[in-house]
Amino acid sequence: MNKAKKQAQRLLNFIDSSPSPWHVTTSIITELEEKKFQCLDEREAWHLAPGGRYYVVRDGSSIIGFIVGSGDLTQHGFRIIAAHTDSPGLRVKPHAAHTCGPMIRLGVEVYGGPILATFTDRDLGLAGRVVIKTGSAVTDIDTPLIHFKKPLVRIPNMAIHMNKEVNEAGLKLDRQNELPMMLSVLQEDLPAQQQFLAIIAHEIGVEADAILSWELQVFDTQPGSFFGPDDQFIANGQLDNLASCHAGLCALLDVDNPIATNMIAYFDHEEVGSRSCKGAGGSFLPDILERISINLDRESQKRALSNSFILSADMAHAYHPNYPKFYDNEHQVVINAGPAIKINANQRYSSDSISEALFVRLCEEADVPYQKYVHRSNLPCGGTIGAITAAKVGIRSVDVGNPLWSMHSARESAGTLDHDYMIRAMIALFRMN
Ligand code: CO
pLDDT > 80? residue 1? no
| Half-sphere CA count of 178, side-chain side, radius 13 A | 12
CA of 240 to the centre of ligand 1 (A): 5
pLDDT at 237: 98
- The helix/strand count (H/E) of the chain reads as 11, 21
Task: Give residues with Cβ within 8 angstroms of 259, minimum separation 6.
Answer: 69, 70, 71, 76, 433
CA of 48 to the centre of ligand 1 (A): 32
CA of 401 to the centre of ligand 1 (A): 9
Tell me the per-residue pLDDT of 295-322, one tens digit each, with 9 for 90 and over: 999 999 999 999 999 999 999 999 999 9
CA of 277 to the centre of ligand 1 (A): 19
CA of 88 to the centre of ligand 1 (A): 9
| Region label for 72, one of left (φ > 0), alpha (ψ between -120 and 50) or beta (otherwise) | beta
CA of 215 to the centre of ligand 1 (A): 20
* C-alpha dihedral (282, 286, 291, 294), degrees to nearest 10: -140
Confidence of residue 23 (pLDDT cuts 50, 70, 90): very high
Q: Which domains does the chain have, with CATH numbers?
A: 2-87+237-431 (3.40.630.10), 89-220 (2.30.250.10)
Tell me the per-residue pLDDT of 323-374, one tens digit each, with 9 for 90 and over: 999 999 999 999 999 999 999 999 999 999 999 999 999 999 999 999 999 9
In this structure, are strands 78-84 and 309-313 parallel, antiparallel, or unpaired?
parallel
CA of 281 to the centre of ligand 1 (A): 15
CA of 384 to the centre of ligand 1 (A): 7
Contact predicate 69/258, CB 8 Å: yes
Tell me the per-residue pLDDT of 205-252, one tens digit each, with 9 for 90 and over: 999 999 999 999 999 999 999 999 999 999 999 999 999 999 999 999
Beta-bridge mates of residue 415? 233
**Cis amide leading into 241 (omega within 30):** yes
CA separation for the pair 401, 406 (Å, rounded): 14
The rounded percent of the chain whose pLDDT value lies above 70 is: 100
Task: Give residues with Cβ within 8 angstroms of 185, minimum separation 6.
Answer: 102, 103, 104
pLDDT > 80? residue 275? yes
pLDDT at 107: 98
Tell me the per-residue pLDDT of 100-135, one tens digit each, with 9 for 90 and over: 999 999 999 999 999 999 999 999 999 999 999 999
CA separation for the pair 128, 21 (Å, rounded): 8
CA of 79 to the centre of ligand 1 (A): 21
How far apart, in Å, do the first and last CA atoms of the chain sit?
A: 30
Q: DSSP label at 55?
A: E
CA of 274 to the centre of ligand 1 (A): 11
pLDDT at 380: 87
Tell me the per-residue pLDDT of 410-419, one tens digit each, with 9 for 90 and over: 999 999 999 9
CA of 315 to the centre of ligand 1 (A): 6
pLDDT at 381: 87
137 three-state secondary structure:
coil
The residue ranking higher by pLDDT, 92 or 384, is 92
Beta-bridge mates of residue 404? 317, 414
CA of 408 to the centre of ligand 1 (A): 8
CA of 197 to the centre of ligand 1 (A): 32
Contact predicate 77/306, CB 8 Å: yes
Q: DSSP label at 20?
A: S
pLDDT at 189: 80
CA of 133 to the centre of ligand 1 (A): 34
Confidence of residue 382 (pLDDT cuts 50, 70, 90): confident
> What's the pTM value of the predicted model, to 2 decimals?
0.97
CA of 247 to the centre of ligand 1 (A): 14
187 three-state secondary structure:
coil
CA of 271 to the centre of ligand 1 (A): 7
The residue ranking higher by pLDDT, 1 or 78, is 78
CA of 310 to the centre of ligand 1 (A): 16
Tell me the per-residue pLDDT of 160-207, one tens digit each, with 9 for 90 and over: 999 999 999 999 999 999 999 999 998 878 899 999 999 999 999 999
Tell me the per-residue pLDDT of 62-73, one tens digit each, with 9 for 90 and over: 999 999 999 999
CA of 239 to the centre of ligand 1 (A): 9
CA separation for the pair 77, 292 (Å, rounded): 11
Beta-bridge mates of residue 103? 100, 185
Quickly list DSSP for 59-112: TTTEEEEEE--SS-HHHH-EEEEEEE----EEEEEEEEEEEETTEEEEEEEEES
In this structure, are strands 309-313 and 89-100 parallel, antiparallel, or unpaired?
unpaired
CA of 341 to the centre of ligand 1 (A): 14
340 three-state secondary structure:
strand
317 three-state secondary structure:
strand
CA separation for the pair 320, 246 (Å, rounded): 25
